[in-house]
Chains A and B, each alone.
Chain A
Amino acid sequence: MSALDDVCERVRERVGTVSRESLGRISATEFQRFAVAAGETDPVYFDDDAARAAGYPGAIAPPLFLSSVLGWGAGDSDADLRPDGAATGDAAGLPLGGLRLMGAGQDIEVHAPVHDGVRLVRETSVEDVTLKEGRSGPFLIVTILREFRDESGTPLLTSRENFIARPEAGT
């Protein structure tokens, strides 16, 4: 059994196991920095009056904000990051050490807009893992399911994200 088969089996053991975390209170500044960095100029992200005119109670986060932020807490110290700089939590804490990770896309379902002051709760699980053979060798595709809710349980966003995990060059 190759090392990648072994990782695939260990990830597969995690399918269906749900972890639930409170991510804390979201501030408008956080999602507005995300909006600026992404090049967004739509006033619904920045201006409460413009958002109200569009039918929202106040400025809202861009739809991809929740599913693009990789860390919601203080994060790892530099020494605890993986050699590629990624934090172990970036891929739901899966046992992917020694592999190169790349985001490969998402599918999101929008349930309700995200506003300043929302207290976020996230449930994370592995939905699927597949071992594939590519032109440059074998790789894994891992699908991570994330459900974001507010603290009263109102669904905000469902995200399914695909990661590709490849062995380091030369291994």
Chain B
Amino acid sequence: MRFFEDVSPGTKLEPLTVRPTPTQLFRFSAATWNAHRIHYDVRYAEHEGYPDVLVQSHLHGCFLLRAALDWAGPGARLRRFGWRNRGIAVPGDTLTCTGVVTDCRVDGSGAGIVECALEEHNADGVLCAPGTAVLELPRRSPESDGEDGRR
């Protein structure tokens, strides 16, 4: 369990490294009913000018989000998440998702809100997908720092 009080801006997330395979891409297309040939038809992908079939936009998002949620632990609740696809990835690429806490605040309801900047790079250091996640983390003692001064 990771608590709001244990993180601060600059805290680094534990990196997540994944290596997608053709089988993973096929099953991800199947599970999302995505028939776009660029994800399973190598000749079609080459015709489009790519070296191999492409990791799905949404799968890049899943990798980045998993890095944030694994780090945040079972008590966390995801509020918002976003990513952008900047660079392609193909099966066999090693993709590493990193992140850093950029903001911590307590909202009006007393919830501890943590914002993280995320990045997914390939083994050459090329940025494939930047993202952001906004998470609510459990608080150790929400009643001890209220404005009413209770202890």
Contact = CB atoms under 8 A, between A and B. Distances in A.
Nearest to A100: B48
Q: Secondary structure at chain A's binding surface: helix, strand, loop or mixed?
A: mixed
Interface in A45-71: 53-55, 62-64, 67-71
A68 B61 contact: yes
B57 A104 contact: yes
Interface size class of B (residues with CB under 8 A): 35 or more
A37 to B, nearest CB: 4
Interface in A78-113: 81, 84-87, 90, 100-110
Contacts of A109: 79-80
Contacts of A33: 27, 30-31
Interface residues of A, number: 42
B31 A42 contact: no
Contacts of A86: 35-36
A109 B82 CA distance: 9
A27 to B, nearest CB: 12
Contact of A104 (B38, B44, B84): B84
B65 interface: yes
B56 A103 contact: yes
B27 to A, nearest CB: 4
Contacts of A68: 32, 56, 58, 61-62
B69 A106 contact: no
B85 A37 contact: no
B85 A105 contact: yes
Contact of A70 (B33, B69, B78, B129): B33
B106 interface: no
Interface in B8-61: 18, 24, 27-28, 30-38, 41, 44, 48-49, 56-59, 61
A15 interface: no
17 contacts: A36-B27, A37-B27, A38-B59, A40-B62, A54-B74, A55-B75, A64-B58, A67-B58, A85-B35, A100-B48, A101-B36, A103-B56, A103-B57, A104-B85, A105-B82, A109-B80, A110-B79
